[in-house]
Chains A and B, each alone.
Chain A
Amino acid sequence: MNPVLEVEDLCVTFRYREGDVAALRNVSFRIDPSESLGVVGESGSGKSLACSAIMGLLPANATVTGSVRFLGQELLGASESTLRDLRGRRLAIISQDALTALNPVHTVGKQISEAILVHDSSRSRAELRDRAIELLDLVGIPQASARVDNYPHEFSGGMRQRALIAMSVANEPDLIIADEPTTALDVTVQAQVLDVLKRIQDRTDSALMLITHDLGVVAGVADRVLVMYSGSVVEEASVDDLFYETSHPYTRGLLASLPRLDARDRSQPLYRIPGFQPSPADRPAGCAFHPRCDVVVAGLCDVELPLSIVAGPGHTARCHRVAIDGGAS
């Protein structure tokens, strides 16, 4: 099966007067058709940056190396017109903040129609309007035929996010990249939006790359998961392996530090990963996680950058300890 997206050794370096900062380091992964890939990490881990690099939306002081192949076509270095043709048609993005993503002076229907029109000018106005209504209905907006003429401010937060989903899937893309699509929403609304996203994906057979900081969302939505830390992918696994056969000490720490709704014993304090995630400008030598790691190997982890070690089928972790212990601990 040909992957929808294949990212290899993606590196992003920012040039500052003080020197170069390697913000993203050798990120490699693939997404297969109709697969859901979750990308988790804390703020500053590089998860949103990876998404911007794939979309070709980086500022001028960023240097990108490596390879991003979308449906077999190289995106890095591709012309702006090629990218423009792909974005919004085969490759869609849903951003976190639906209020700023929508244009306040145009109706929701007009903005959805425009997303279609940009890539297909053959449709009549009536057809576009019908399609916009159909899409709004699909994402669960009540009375879509009336709501299509509303402006974004007349929509609630959850409805705006759904309108954004409607817009992004208007051209039945091969890949939807959703960057924290439910972070600003209340849980009951989040549940509605994730449900819509899942139904749409089933219907259109799109692949999904879901970027989030919420391990609960990942557990419910993703088939496979990447865990990012300080600009690198530190663990990649199927969703079950990630949660039940966790390999990387950072992932283990994250899971242990979560307060659980389903916890039996609340008398124990939460696990706290000591220290802080380093800024990309002053990463420690060796493994970036080693100063915080509870199974650090002195003389190795603080010297040598760990490679991606196979911990099981389809399961890798960038950790010397995994190499020493031989797979899942």
Chain B
Amino acid sequence: MTSVLDVRDLVKEYPVRSGVLRRVTGSVKAVNGISLTLERGRTLGLVGETGCGKSTVGRCLVGLIEPTSGSVLLDGVDVSAMSGRELRAARRRIQLVFQDPYASLDPRQSVEAIVSEPLRLHGLARGSESARAAALLDLVGLSSSVLQQYPHELSGGQRQRVGIARALALEPEVMVLDEPVSALDVSVQAGILNLLEELQRELNLAYVFIAHDLSVVRHVSHEVAVMYLGRIVEYVDADTLYSTPQHPYTQALLSAVPLPDPRAERARKRILLEGDLPSPIDLPTGCAFRSRCWKATDVCSSIPELRTTDYHAFACHNADQV
């Protein structure tokens, strides 16, 4: 089976300017050499804390920002080498759902206009845009009475459904979901997560699910990649990640998630990380995590490779399995 999405050595660098002349004095690697693979009908969770580069990866995938180097392949064809009509056609196949359903919908457009805009832009379903928009709303569990409403008349959950309908309009094969439920209350979140799973089954969609909430990621993902300061530190199927995490950062991250179970909480030993996330402008040499790692030794002054053993990839010199 060929993978629908392949990301190879993706790098996104931003210049750092300083002084009165705003000269470029350095660079920040927001994404520092990331490779991912995704098959149809599967979900890849991309997790990490603020500033780890997970959203930058998402934006590079859909072409909202241009990667500095590396390639994004759809069905084995390099999107970064395309241009013009070919690129437009490829773009249709990978769509983005934004985090904030309040900010990502134009307040002056009706739901119908929002959902059918991608159709108009790509010249699809000419003449039957509104029928198509109604069908899309039906797909995401909204009645067609919503068509003539404006975003401010909708609840957060309904808005996020509109955002999903808009992303589905072009019948993509891959959806990049950037924190799709983090702005929602739990009871609403459950509805959206169930909807995403149904859509995946029905349409054989592949998801890149970007989130900071590890419980949500565990619920939806088949594979999970954990990011720390622009790099993937661990990449494995979801069950293995949660049962036997290898990278100390993953271990700390998992142990910090509060469990809705008082007895388990009391019995738990938390790994409390020391200090704060280092500035991406001024990374520690070698392993970026070593300034906060309780397992750090002298070998950590060299950058650990992401090594794979038994389908389990992790980048640590001192992991348990080594």
Verify that A and B bind, or say they do not.
Answer: yes
Contact A142 B260 (CB under 8 A): no
Distance in Å from the Cβ of B114 to the closest Cβ of chain A? Answer: 21
Interface residue A127 (Cβ < 8 Å from any Cβ of B)? no
Query: Chain B, 263-285, contact with A by CB distance < 8 Å: what is the 0/1 string?
Result: 11100001011011100000000
Looking across the interface, which residue of chain A has its beta carbon closest to that of B48?
A: A186
Contact B187 A240 (CB under 8 A): no
Looking across the interface, which residue of chain B has its beta carbon closest to that of A261?
A: B215
With A220-B265, A270-B190 in contact, do A142 and B218 touch (Cβ < 8 Å)? no
Set of chain B residues within 8 Å of A156, measured between Cβ atoms: 276-277
Set of chain B residues within 8 Å of A187, measured between Cβ atoms: 49, 212, 214, 253, 256-257
Tally A residues with Cβ within 8 Å of B: 46
Set of chain B residues within 8 Å of A72, measured between Cβ atoms: none
Contact A271 B190 (CB under 8 A): yes
With A142-B275, A156-B276 in contact, do A258 and B256 touch (Cβ < 8 Å)? no
Contact A270 B219 (CB under 8 A): yes
Contact A262 B261 (CB under 8 A): yes
Contact among A188, A189, A243 with B260 in the assembled complex (CB-CB below 8 Å):
A243
Interface residue A249 (Cβ < 8 Å from any Cβ of B)? no
Set of chain A residues within 8 Å of B124, measured between Cβ atoms: none
Most B C-beta atoms less than 10 A away, residue of A187, A194, A219, A258? A187
With A219-B261, A270-B190, A271-B190 in contact, do A260 and B256 touch (Cβ < 8 Å)? no
Contact A42 B185 (CB under 8 A): yes
Contact A262 B187 (CB under 8 A): no
Looking across the interface, which residue of chain A has its beta carbon closest to that of B189?
A: A257
Set of chain A residues within 8 Å of B242, measured between Cβ atoms: 261
Interface residue A213 (Cβ < 8 Å from any Cβ of B)? yes
With A216-B260, A263-B218 in contact, do A188 and B49 touch (Cβ < 8 Å)? yes
Most A C-beta atoms less than 10 A away, residue of B213, B263, B276? B276
Contact A192 B258 (CB under 8 A): no
Query: Chain A, 176-219, contact with B by CB distance < 8 Å: what is the 0/1 string?
Result: 00000000001111111011000000000000000001111111
Looking across the interface, which residue of chain B has its beta carbon closest to that of A239?
A: B262
Looking across the interface, which residue of chain B has its beta carbon closest to that of A225?
A: B262
Interface residues of A in 25-71 (CB under 8 A from B): 42-43
Most B C-beta atoms less than 10 A away, residue of A240, A259, A273? A259
Contact A257 B261 (CB under 8 A): no
Interface residue B36 (Cβ < 8 Å from any Cβ of A)? no
Taking A239-B262, A271-B190 as known contacts, 9 extra A-B pairs with beta carbons closer than 8 A to each other, sorted by chain A number, are A42-B187, A213-B185, A220-B262, A253-B187, A259-B215, A259-B216, A270-B193, A272-B194, A276-B157
Chain A interface (Cβ < 8 Å from any Cβ of B):
42-43, 142, 156-159, 186-192, 194-195, 213-220, 239-240, 243-244, 253-255, 257-263, 266, 269-273, 276-277
The 10 closest A-B pairs by CB, nearest first: A216-B258, A259-B219, A257-B190, A191-B256, A186-B49, A42-B185, A270-B190, A220-B265, A215-B260, A273-B187
Can you report 26 residue pairs joining A to B where beta carbons are below 8 Å apart?
A43-B185, A142-B275, A187-B253, A190-B258, A195-B270, A195-B272, A213-B185, A215-B186, A217-B258, A219-B264, A220-B258, A220-B259, A220-B262, A240-B262, A243-B261, A243-B262, A254-B187, A257-B186, A260-B218, A261-B218, A262-B264, A263-B218, A263-B219, A266-B218, A270-B219, A276-B157
